[in-house]
Copies of this chain bind each other. A is one copy, B any other.
Amino acid sequence: MEICLGELSARLGVTLIGDATVSVSRVAQLTNADARSLAFLGDSKYRRHLEATAAGAVILSKADAGACHMPVLLSDNPYLTFARAARILHPDSPVIGGRHPSAVIDPDARVDPTAWIGPLVVLEAGVLIGPRVFVGPGCILGEGVRIDEDSRLIARVTLCAGTQVGKRALLHPGAVIGREGFGFARDGERWIRIPQVGRAVLGDDVEIGANTAVDRGAIGDTVIGHGVKLDNLIQIGHNVEIGDNTAIAGNAGISGSTRIGRNCTIAGAVGIAGHLSIGDDVHFTGMAMVTRSFPEPGSYSSGIPAMPSAEWRRNVARFRHLDDLTRRLKHLESLLETMKETTERGNS
């Protein structure tokens, strides 16, 4: 996709300073750009790269526009403008309706003629595929799965029976949505599996990363809100509810029946216990261990950052006695209090 800066600035709604006829055809970093590349400066501390860059044009904020030798696109939020420009320069390929002959499609599945069903896909009975949906190679869609318009399953996505996917969703390879969750009752030493009769329901604009698993509800549904973004290798237990526009990074795990609010960010490898309630605008930093509800907005953390192993071993050994340590400190405090009084009496 090649576009001249005049048209690009118009589509982005930003001011262009420089030659409007210059064309760009891809995005690049300042440090590896060429004359056909559009780069951006998101943080003034990288300003030194501006002078050396060979980029055809740069998106930056007014403050950094100073002595730029190439055309610039002015933006209050260069990163966001860059994201939009990147989508113009690197658009998703359009979906061409059809079915690969190797796909196994149940006669009871309904597929919009503008949707693409790729090679070696399986669609079971009752599947409903909306307009312009892309179902890439090797996907398996169980009974009664519904996918709304413009959603894309890149490849090898498994949607178990009953899973519902909204519009413009993006599902990556290895994702498993709607499997029967982990529900058992104990019978003496044995575990009795409890049928999981709910569904997994994904809103519009949801993204699910590679090898991420979202279990169906036990009774009632697991609900992933609109605009929720899940990275790779995440585990979402049964009956979890995630509010709109919450983003969760890789290796995180949310245990069953926990509710998470809107606009939260949950960093990598965070673990959230079950049956908790997390409010809107809550942010957990990486590897946080969440064992209680956090209804209030804010940033929450846990974990001990890595340090040299020898130092860590010494501190950890002390941690085992932290309770004892605290008691000893208390004892000293009261002892000292007594001594002080005694001394003061002695001195008076």
Could you say which residues of chain B place their CB within 8 Å of the CB of A300?
Answer: 306-309, 312
User: Is A241 positioned at the interface, with any CB of B under 8 Å from its CB?
Assistant: no
Which residues of chain A (295-317) have a CB below 8 Å from chain B?
Answer: 298-317
Contact with B along A246-278 (1 / 0, CB 8 A): 010111010100000011000011010100000
Q: How many copies does the complex hold?
A: 3
Q: How far is the CB of A110 from chain B (nearest CB, A)?
A: 18
Could you say which residues of chain B place their CB within 8 Å of the CB of A318?
Answer: 322-323, 325-326
Q: How far is the CB of A25 from chain B (nearest CB, A)?
A: 11
Could you say which residues of chain B place their CB within 8 Å of the CB of A104?
Answer: 100, 102, 119-120, 137
**B28 engages A219 (CB within 8 Å):** yes
User: Is A4 positioned at the interface, with any CB of B under 8 Å from its CB?
Assistant: no
A234: nearest residue on chain B (CB-CB)? B233
**B244 engages A189 (CB within 8 Å):** yes
**A182 engages B305 (CB within 8 Å):** no
Q: How far is the CB of A24 from chain B (nearest CB, A)?
A: 13
**B174 engages A211 (CB within 8 Å):** yes
Task: From known contacts A83-B194, A219-B27, infer whether A319 and B304 are also in contact, taking CB-CB under 8 Å.
Answer: yes
Which residues of chain A (167-195) have a CB below 8 Å from chain B?
Answer: 170, 172-174, 176, 179-180, 182, 184-187, 189-195
What separation, in Å, do the CA atoms of A319 and B89 have in the docked complex? Answer: 49
Task: From known contacts A104-B119, A304-B303, A329-B325, infer whether A285 and B309 are also in contact, taking CB-CB under 8 Å.
Answer: yes
Could you say which residues of chain B place their CB within 8 Å of the CB of A244?
Answer: 189
A161: nearest residue on chain B (CB-CB)? B154
Q: How large is the interface on A (under 10, 10 to 19, 20 to 34, 35 or more residues)?
A: 35 or more
Task: From known contacts A119-B104, A137-B122, infer whether A301 and B290 are also in contact, taking CB-CB under 8 Å.
Answer: no
User: Is A35 positioned at the interface, with any CB of B under 8 Å from its CB?
Assistant: no
Task: From known contacts A253-B250, A319-B319, A322-B322, infer whether A302 and B291 are also in contact, taking CB-CB under 8 Å.
Answer: no
Task: From known contacts A142-B155, A219-B27, A285-B309, infer whether A87 and B193 are also in contact, taking CB-CB under 8 Å.
Answer: yes
**A291 engages B306 (CB within 8 Å):** yes
Contact with B along A68-99 (1 / 0, CB 8 A): 00000000010110111011011000000000
- 28 A–B contacts, CB within 8 A, in A order: A27-B195, A86-B194, A89-B195, A137-B140, A154-B180, A156-B176, A179-B210, A189-B245, A190-B245, A191-B227, A191-B247, A213-B232, A213-B233, A237-B250, A251-B253, A253-B269, A292-B305, A300-B307, A302-B304, A311-B323, A314-B323, A318-B322, A318-B325, A325-B325, A329-B329, A332-B333, A336-B339, A339-B343
15 more A-B residue pairs beyond the given contacts A251-B253, A253-B268, A336-B339, with a C-beta to C-beta distance below 8 A: A27-B195, A84-B185, A87-B195, A137-B140, A142-B155, A155-B160, A173-B176, A179-B232, A184-B229, A190-B245, A191-B245, A233-B235, A268-B271, A318-B323, A339-B340
